[in-house]
Structure 1
Amino acid sequence: MKKLMTAAALAFGLAGAAQAADPAVGTWQTQVDDGAYAHVKMAPCGGAICGTIARTFNDSGEYKSPNLGKTLVIDMVPEGGGNYAGKVWRPSNGKIYIGKMNVSGNALKLSGCVAGGLICSKQTWKRIN
């Protein structure tokens, strides 16, 4: 029984380490959108990556946005080569977009589209940690 529990713990540990090695995991700073920007914490969520608003800033500095703790990047599934596909929520208009993401080093390029790709928005985020 002890060997079985040790093997299970090791298997869970290796799975967690593999997810932690994902290049999107970490904290990223968004570009300014409607006068504010955020720090988004990207973490594994099932077999995907999700991003939650951890801190918010405006011209006056850090402030307590009602969006703190909300999921901005939704179920981004890795497609290989630093590319992901999922959804993105834009707090300024409350819309959820079909999203694509690419991570290269300390840059994360995020795009979201609605209306079958006719209306799109893009941002480049920088890694905080």
Structure 2
Amino acid sequence: MKRLFAITLATVFLSAGAALADPIEGNWKTESGETAGIAKCGGSFCITLKTGAHKGKQIGQMQASGGGKYKGKITDPADDKTYSGKASISGSSMKMSGCVFGGLICKSQAWKKQ
């Protein structure tokens, strides 16, 4: 009986942990075909490339701003230039954008959750 209780309790805690994950966490397919992993790092979410020529490189850091929206910094891995970044999630899609000059010039990509 104790064993059954322990297994049930462990299952409940594991399920609750998955349910508490932030929507931005996980693996995302970028427009260029690479996979980017997003995971908690301190009070933020770090974006690291998992595939492609820049595999292993951290390319951004975002903080939740509510309602499926995030703000932070995003780096172009090809030239190492860092931009003011925004992300917004809708279902299994995320719009990721990087801007310069206070948002005057922006470039966006649509990423899909894997």
Q: Please tell me the TM-score bracket, short chain as reference.
A: 0.7 to 0.9
Given the two structures, how large is their TM-score scaled by the length of structure 1?
A: 0.71
CA distance in 1, matches of 2:19, 2:55: 24
Alignment size in residue pairs: 101
User: CA contact under 8 A between 1:40 and 1:54: conserved in structure 2?
Assistant: yes
- Dislocated runs of 4+, deviation >6 Å: none
Q: How does 1:1-129 map to 2 (within 5 A)?
A: 17=17, 21-32=21-32, 37-56=33-52, 65=53, 67-74=54-61, 76-128=62-114
Deviation at 1:73, TM superposition (A): 2.1
Give the partner amino acid of 1:24. Answer: I
Deviation at 1:18, TM superposition (A): 7.8
User: CA contact under 8 A between 1:77 and 1:85: conserved in structure 2?
Assistant: yes
Deviation at 1:21, TM superposition (A): 1.2
User: CA contact under 8 A between 1:49 and 1:77: conserved in structure 2?
Assistant: yes
Match of 2:5 in 1: none
For the aligned residue pairs, the C-alpha RMSD in angstroms reads 2.2
Relative to structure 1, the CA distance from residue 39 to residue 46 in structure 2 (aligned partners, 3 Å threshold; closer, same or farther) is: same
CA distance in 1, matches of 2:66, 2:99: 21
Deviation string 1:56-107 (CA, Å, 9 cap, x unpaired) is 2xxxxxxxx1x21111122x11011100000001123321000011112110
Unaligned runs of 5+ in 2: 1-12
Given the two structures, how large is their TM-score scaled by the length of structure 2?
A: 0.79
Give the partner amino acid of 1:97. Answer: Y
Deviation at 1:20, TM superposition (A): 5.4
